[in-house]
Every structure is written in C-alpha cells, then in structure tokens.
Amino acid sequence: MYVPSLYVKLHGVAIFLMPSGMLGTLLSLIDVIPLFSNTIWGQDANLAFLQKHMGASFNKRSQPWAANIHKEDVHSGDFLALSKIRGRWGGFQTLEKWVTGAFAGHTAVCLKDENGTLWVAESGYENKKGEEVIAIVPWDEWWGVALKDDSNPQVALLPLHPDVRSRFNESAAWEFARSMYGKPYGYHNMIFSWIDTMSENYPPPLDANLVMAAMSMWTRLQPHYASNMWNEALNKRLGTEQLDLHGIISETERRGMSFNQLLTIPEQDEWEYSDGKSTTCVAFILAMYKAAGVFAPFTESIQVTEFTIRDAYMLRIFEDNRTRLPGWCNGDADGLPFCQILGEYKMELPEYNTIQPYANMNENCPSSPPTYDRPLRC
C-alpha cells in the first residue's frame, strides 16, 4: 500500500495484527456476511449481532404490527425513526448502529402543507435511477413503500413536544426542504458525525490508523467513491482544495497534526461541497429543525452535521406525556414513550428525549460499545 514518504519517515510502516488470528478473522467475516442476506437467516443474523454487541432485546409485539394511522394526529416536524433488520440496508444499518450506538438506522420527517396534506421529507430516498437523494413524497406513497419493504422495517413516530411545536416555523421548514430537494444524500460527511474523539469512537479492533489504511486502499480501488466519501470533507478541514488522500496525509504531517486529529475536527453546517450542502438522513432533519427555530437560542452554535441518529433521538424536544400520544400509535402491551407504527419487534431508543440542546453539542462525544457512555455536554 502506498503512503507518503514523510508519514513513513515520521511514523514508520504500520503492521496490523489480527487479534483473533487468521482463522478467527475468517470466522468473524462469516458472522458479518449473513447480515446482508434478505432472508430469515439474514434477519436472525442481524438480531443476534445486535443482541451480542449492543445488548439489544427484540421483544415481539402483539398484532397488528402496522398502526391504523390518523393523519390529522401527525404534525410538521414529527420525527420518523426506522430500523431495517435484513437485506442490503439491514446489514448496513446494523453495522452503523454498532459503531454509533444508535438503535435506529434511518430517519425521515413529517411535513404538512397549507392544505393540511401530509408529506414525508427524507435524505436517502431511492429514486427511479437507484440514486439516494433528498425527496419530499406524499405520506400515502411513503407509507405504502414501508409496508411493502422486504427488509422488515420497524418504524417509530416521535411527536414533537407541544412547546417545541408551538415555535416550529412551518414556512421556514418547507423553504429549507424545498431548497434541498433533489440533492444527493450526504455521503461527504457521513463518517464525521461518528468520529469525535481521538480513540473513543472506534469499536475494537478499529482505530484511526486502520481507518486511514482502509481509506488508502479504497482510494486505489475506487478513487471517485473515495473522493465523495472523505476527500472533500478532509480538504474542508485543512482549508485546501482537490488534494487526494495522500496529499491530505502529507499536508497534515507538514502542519504537525496527526491524521487522527484531522478526523476529529467538527463538521460545519455552512460548508458547501461540489454538489451543494451535504446532509445525511438525520442531519437533513436537524438542519430543518435549525431553520424552523427548534434549537433557539443555540441556533448558530449547533452544528447538526455532527449529530448521529442516537444524538437526535436523545434530544429533549419530543412529547414526554404518554397520555397525549394518539390512541392508535401503540399496541396495548408496548408501553413506549413514543409511537411505534410498524414492526414485528418493540423498538428501543435508550436515553430517548433526555438531553436539552446546548451550544457546541455533540462535537466531542465518545461512543464506545457496548455501553456507549456519553458524558454531559460533550
């Protein structure tokens, strides 16, 4: 693998040992491969992985598993958390959950227009070309796709608290959503919402050195993909333009920084990439919240592109009185503080609705499995 000579002179050549040996590593890979199978075997593999590595429990819900939703009870700004448990996206979401500590793998948000029609806005909607883009689709269309989804999604509706809803600027939310319509999913900064610290965001045996090595190898295999996933974002952190990964590493060393330090520099919401502003599924929603006034008085001091899905559902902005939840939203035995509207298994969102927004939120938070302990005001 090629690395810049300056890096080698300063740090030497890195050799990664497999802590489980060759056989153990191959067996671990065998555990991962079924995660992407769109079968019951694949679903069982995802559930077992999350139970083993995150302590998740998958308690079966009583029927019906799909709620009879009354659209008049759903409002602009209500948050949708999704968890797919088999197939391509099920496997990807399982690994994402493991590294970030989130108990959901995708998100979307509800919007109502001036006629009272309910829509869903989403970053990561797959269009007819197979591209993941930002889309605004009618609720009935979105819900119909969810009901037919063979990845067996579990879906929760997280209503905003009445006090938050009262200050939610619906016009500003729509203006933001329309300004982002059709833009690609935020691959540019996807990994940087996860990496906040020098060493406390990596599930073993991952570390920053292994991340750099993987980036280097992937750059040689798929240079365009690498540029989209991390090169532009790393250039932003250095204030440079169009450096490839090895140029980035050399520039980092020239400045006396480690690559590890570079990865932890917080993303800035105002950064513009080659294809516009870059927002993942959850950053898109939180940027809408930001535009709609949800984070006041901290609007200018919160970078929502630093938030993971876990960070989002931990925000203390959602309904906290179960008696105000719609009667149709949960089965009698669910006992959840939010509305689960679809799914075979009861959804867990640990530490849901517990942290008040504050300045520079989630810019320096650890997320080490299996406990994912988070200090106050990190």
Q: Domain limits of the chain?
A: 5-17+197-264, 40-190+273-342
pLDDT in tens, 6-46: 555 555 566 655 565 555 555 566 677 889 999 999 999 99
Residue position matching structure tokens 């970053």: 123
What is the arithmetic mean of pLDDT over 223-227?
Answer: 76
Bridge pairing between strands 154-158 and 79-83: antiparallel
Task: Give me the pLDDT at residue 310, please.
Answer: 97
H-helix or E-strand containing 341? strand 339-342
pLDDT in tens, 186-197: 989 888 899 999
Neighbours of 179 (CB within 10 A): 12
H-helix or E-strand containing 239? none
Task: Give me the pLDDT at residue 1, please.
Answer: 42
pLDDT in tens, 167-185: 999 999 999 999 999 999 9
Q: What is the pTM of this model?
A: 0.90
Which candidate, 104, 154, 100, 106, places its Cα nearest to that of 370?
100
What is the arithmetic mean of pLDDT over 223-249?
Answer: 88
* pLDDT, averaged across the chain: 89
Burial bucket for residue 258 (CB in 10 Å: 0-12, 13-18, 19+): middle
Cα–Cα dist 362/10, whole Å: 32
pLDDT in tens, 240-289: 998 998 899 999 989 999 999 999 999 999 999 998 999 999 999 999 99
Helices (H), the chain: 5-11, 21-32, 40-54, 87-100, 139-148, 162-167, 170-180, 208-221, 223-226, 232-238, 245-254, 259-264, 281-291, 309-314
- 28-32, 45-49, 342-346: segment of lowest average pLDDT: 28-32
Task: Give me the pLDDT at residue 22, please.
Answer: 54
Residue position matching structure tokens 């060493």: 199
